[in-house]
Amino acid sequence: MKMDVVVTGLGVVSPLGNDPETLWNALLRGESAAAPVSRFDASEYPVRIAAEVDDAPLGALFSPKETKRLPRFVRYGVAAALRCLENAGLKPSDVDPDRAGAMVGSGLGGMDLFMENMAALRDRGPSRVSPFFIPGTIVNSASGEISLRTGWRGPNWSVVSACASGNHAIMAACDQIRAGRADVMLAGASEEGVSPVALSGFCAMRALSARNDDPARASRPFDRARDGFLLGEGAAALCLESADHARARGARPLAVLAGCGASADAWHPAAPRPDGAGALRAMRAALRDAGLEPGDVDVVNAHGTSTPAGDLAEGRALVELFGERQPVLNATKAMLGHALGASSALEAVVSVLTLRDGKVHPSVNLDRPEFEGILRYAPPRAEALAARTVLSNGFGFGGHNSSLLFARV
């Protein structure tokens, strides 16, 4: 029998704030995190805008030695996880350490540390490579550091599936609870996306919006004038518990993780299937897992990257799945940017907050919508909506598709 899994806590590190309430209120106001790149000199890049995290408020969580040892994506992931525990009203010692764990995904891992050590190797030789290079660069270092901080000895690993990593990590954590292997799991993803090598790589792919003179309007999911995504970064963590465990400790769940779905496109290294068939299979799988029908979905938090091909494929899948009864559709990346591996985890947090508060954040930069008159886009201002369910999509390079179905408690 499938065990109910509930969400009891949320934690974020984002370009719009480093706690869920700050992020959520900024989204409800329609604020954009887009700005000229400040972390490094981007003057020679064709794209010079991004959505950056403000690292300064995180400093109190890490000693100077830890800050030097741990790359940004690990610090982001740890900060989101620790704040998630606080939000859930849990201390690590409150839980059986053998029945608690962490799943933290990432698309790229420690890119800055990798480049620093490659430069050291090239310029000064092998003796100048840091002993922290390998442990800090590998993707699983974030989940491993959370285990060290909490003392939890239960299931602990990482998921790498590009921009679907967050959803897949949450799915993997959910599976551990459903299978009876864990009572509590911290699940999500982390990414230090705004780095010279990542920006140059996505520029080379021509995947980014080049609206350098109008950053706030650069990310425009489902708008016919979209020209690419806005590079972002950050981290998010959800505290997942078995319903029995949450009830026994008197926790009040924020939402139920009712269904999970995944699929592969088997199509192209980066482009989605044009017909959206892979995305459609993932969404249908999440509905089957939840025992629900398409008509039971009230809101879809789209993957919605603002790329010409990606939005078109997802839109076609939504039309095929929901037909004439379209749920409300919004796209968080229009304001938050695309945090790569962390994006779907951040959007899972937004989906839970949508259910908790009975509101959907606005659609912004949507002047000439694709599928006009067919898809039901959220209005340009936040709207009250007593949603029962939210379907949250995350799709990644390589044809990795994921959907999570959250339901109101």
Please give the pLDDT value at position 332. Answer: 98
Specify which residues 14 forms β-bridges with: 17
Please give the pLDDT value at position 326. Answer: 97
Q: Within a domain: residue 156?
A: yes
Question: 231 with 168, same domain?
Answer: yes
Reply yes or no on whether the pLDDT at 235 is more than 70.
Answer: yes
Q: What is the pLDDT of residues 253-290, one digit of tens each?
A: 999 999 999 999 999 999 999 999 999 999 999 999 99
Question: 199 with 327, same domain?
Answer: no
Question: 244 with 268, same domain?
Answer: no
Q: What is the pLDDT of residues 267-276, one digit of tens each?
A: 999 999 999 9
Q: Within a domain: residue 66?
A: yes
Question: 240 with 307, same domain?
Answer: no
Output the CA–CA distances (angstroms, integers) from residue 165 to 160, 282, 339, in the order listed: 5, 14, 11
Reply yes or no on whether the pLDDT at 293 is more than 80.
Answer: yes
Please give the pLDDT value at position 59. Answer: 86
Q: Within a domain: residue 229?
A: yes
Q: Within a domain: residue 153?
A: yes
Q: Within a domain: residue 268?
A: yes
Q: What is the pLDDT of residues 175-198, one digit of tens each?
A: 999 999 999 999 999 999 999 999
- Under a CB-based contact definition with an 8 Å cutoff, are residues 387 and 408 in contact? yes
Question: 265 with 163, same domain?
Answer: no
Question: 324-362 burial by CB neighbour count: b if 16+ within 10 A, else e?
Answer: eebbbbbbbbbbbbbbbbbbbbbbbbbbbbbbbeebbbb
Q: What is the pLDDT of residues 307-323, one digit of tens each?
A: 999 999 999 999 999 99
Q: What is the pLDDT of residues 100-134, one digit of tens each?
A: 999 999 999 999 999 999 999 999 999 999 999 99
Question: 103 with 237, same domain?
Answer: yes
Specify which residues 105 forms β-bridges with: 189
Separation of alpha carbons 301 and 347, rounded Å: 7
Specify which residues 106 forms β-bridges with: none
Q: Within a domain: residue 281?
A: yes
pLDDT band of residue 378 (cuts 50, 70, 90) is: very high
Name the residue range of residue 307's domain.
261-407
Specify which residues 401 forms β-bridges with: 263, 395
- The mean pLDDT of the chain is 96
Regarding pTM above 0.85, the answer is: yes
Q: What is the pLDDT of residues 314-352, one digit of tens each?
A: 999 999 999 999 999 999 999 999 999 999 999 999 999
- Specify the DSSP element, H or E, that contains 272: none
Instruction: Give, as one character, the DSSP assignment of residue 391.
Output: E
Choosing from 248, 272, 290, the residue where a domain stops is 248
Question: 288 with 232, same domain?
Answer: no
Specify which residues 402 forms β-bridges with: 262, 394
- Under a CB-based contact definition with an 8 Å cutoff, are residues 192 and 144 in contact? no
Question: 215 with 266, same domain?
Answer: no
Beta strands in 80-161 (DSSP E): 100-105, 156-157
Q: Within a domain: residue 366?
A: yes
Question: 282 with 199, same domain?
Answer: no
Average pLDDT over residues 370-388: 97
Q: Within a domain: residue 253?
A: no
Please give the pLDDT value at position 228. Answer: 98
Percent of the chain at pLDDT exceeding 70: 99
Catalogue the active-site residues: 163, 303, 338
Reply yes or no on whether the pLDDT at 1 is more than 70.
Answer: no
Choosing from 197, 224, 248, the residue where a domain stops is 248
N residues, the chain? 409
Instruction: Give, as one character, the DSSP assignment of residue 337.
Output: -
Please give the pLDDT value at position 408. Answer: 97
Question: 286 with 233, same domain?
Answer: no
Question: 70 with 114, same domain?
Answer: yes
Q: What is the pLDDT of residues 53-105, one digit of tens each?
A: 998 889 889 999 999 899 999 999 999 999 999 999 999 999 999 999 999 99
192 contacts: CB under 8 Å, gap ≥ 6: 71, 72, 73, 76, 108, 110, 111, 112, 233
CATH of the domain at 146: 3.40.47.10
Q: What is the pLDDT of residues 203-212, one digit of tens each?
A: 999 999 999 9
pLDDT band of residue 223 (cuts 50, 70, 90) is: very high
Tell me how far the alpha carbon of residue 17 is from its chain's centroid: 14
Choosing from 213, 248, 283, the residue where a domain stops is 248
Question: 112 with 153, same domain?
Answer: yes
Count: domains in the chain? 2
